[in-house]
């Protein structure tokens, strides 16, 4: 039996990358999927391609009216809301703390943190009333440690998402509503191109190049794929994870597990040479 058969799910930021692959996998596992994004043309094409169980709603995750309409509209149309994947995101200003553009930083925070906050806010009363639900937030290894993003604003927003996940889980868990997060590592998507100023398809086309560059950034020597995150989300959305709450699942190939073996051994060798010299 499909792992999400009969479940109604909402996925934000579903028109590309991790979000798109999650839409596809959830639909293949039997879910009714409502996904959102700001690019209406792309969203309509995806929904048409994936069939009658997949529905697109044009929504900006940083706008409360859009998020409220997306989530309440889904629950009203289908009679329930089993899972919300707060996935929508984007790049944030790069550079030194001395040069950061405050307005752009706040706009990034509004999407990266605010979109998650709004999703939880409007899903919570629905899920509490029905007595079940799974909320999944897209975090990042950059929210755990500094130096894993081109943007300290992005890192700070993701750290806030991780803490919000834990805080909301403590409250909503009492109503059998689970709140967890996934922290991706180096996933080959267009976000790296976007961070460097590219837009649209030009940014998406950088995913393959990013994968080649990132292949040796972690002990498992390949770049992460959207599939890796989507399958973690599938687990958290399914009944296989009903006793998991307030958790963050690292999907990073071991990137932040510690100092990498080869690099450590090379430094030891260098130390030995220095001593013998």
Out of 26, 35, 85, 154, the active site residue is 154
Q: Using CA atoms, how far apart are residues 239 and 219, in angstroms rounded to an integer? A: 31
Residue range 151-175, pLDDT digits in tens: 999 999 999 999 999 999 999 999 9
> What phi, psi does 32 have (nearest 5°)?
-85, 120
Please identify which residue in the block is written with the tokens 């009216």: 65
Residue range 87-112, pLDDT digits in tens: 999 999 999 999 999 999 999 999 99
Mind listing the domains of the chain with CATH numbers? 8-276 (3.40.50.720)
- pTM of model > 0.75: yes
Q: Using CA atoms, how far apart are residues 85 and 165, in angstroms rounded to an integer? A: 12
Average pLDDT, the chain: 93
Residue range 208-254, pLDDT digits in tens: 776 677 888 899 999 899 999 999 999 999 999 999 999 999 999 99
Sheet strands side by side (includes 83-86): 54-58, 32-37, 8-11, 83-86, 133-138, 177-184, 248-251
Q: Which two tokens stand for residue 198?
A: 């590219």
Q: Is 148 a catalytic residue?
A: no
Quote the pLDDT of residue 59.
98
Quote the pLDDT of residue 199.
62
């Amino acid at each position: 039996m499909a792992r999400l058969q009969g479940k109604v799910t909402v996925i934000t930021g579903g028109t590309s990358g991790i979000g798109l692959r999650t839409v596809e996998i959830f639909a293949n596992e039997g879910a009714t999927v409502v996904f959102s994004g700001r690019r209406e043309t792309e969203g309509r094409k995806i929904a048409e391609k994936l069939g009658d169980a997949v529905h697109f709603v044009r929504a900006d995750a940083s706008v409360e009216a859009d998020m409220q309409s997306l989530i309440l509209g889904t629950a009203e149309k289908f009679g329930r809301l089993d899972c919300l994947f707060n996935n929508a995101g984007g790049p944030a200003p790069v550079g030194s703390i001395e040069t950061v553009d405050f307005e752009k930083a706040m706009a990034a925070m509004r999407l990266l943190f605010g979109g998650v906050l709004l999703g939880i806010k409007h899903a919570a009363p629905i899920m509490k009333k029905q007595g079940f639900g799974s909320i999944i937030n897209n975090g990042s290894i950059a929210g755990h440690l500094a130096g894993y993003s081109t943007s300290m604003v992005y890192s700070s927003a993701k750290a806030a998402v991780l803490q919000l996940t834990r805080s909301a889980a403590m409250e909503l868990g009492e109503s059998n509503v689970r709140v967890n997060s996934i922290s991706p590592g180096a996933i080959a998507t267009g976000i790296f191109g976007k961070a460097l100023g590219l837009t649209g398809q030009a940014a998406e086309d950088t995913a393959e190049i990013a994968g080649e560059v990132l292949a040796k950034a972690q002990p498992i020597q390949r770049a992460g794929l959207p599939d890796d995150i989507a399958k973690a989300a599938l687990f958290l959305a399914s009944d296989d994870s009903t006793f998991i709450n307030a958790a963050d699942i690292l999907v990073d190939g071991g990137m932040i597990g510690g100092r990498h073996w080869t690099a450590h051994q090379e430094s030891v060798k260098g130390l030995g040479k220095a001593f013998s010299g």
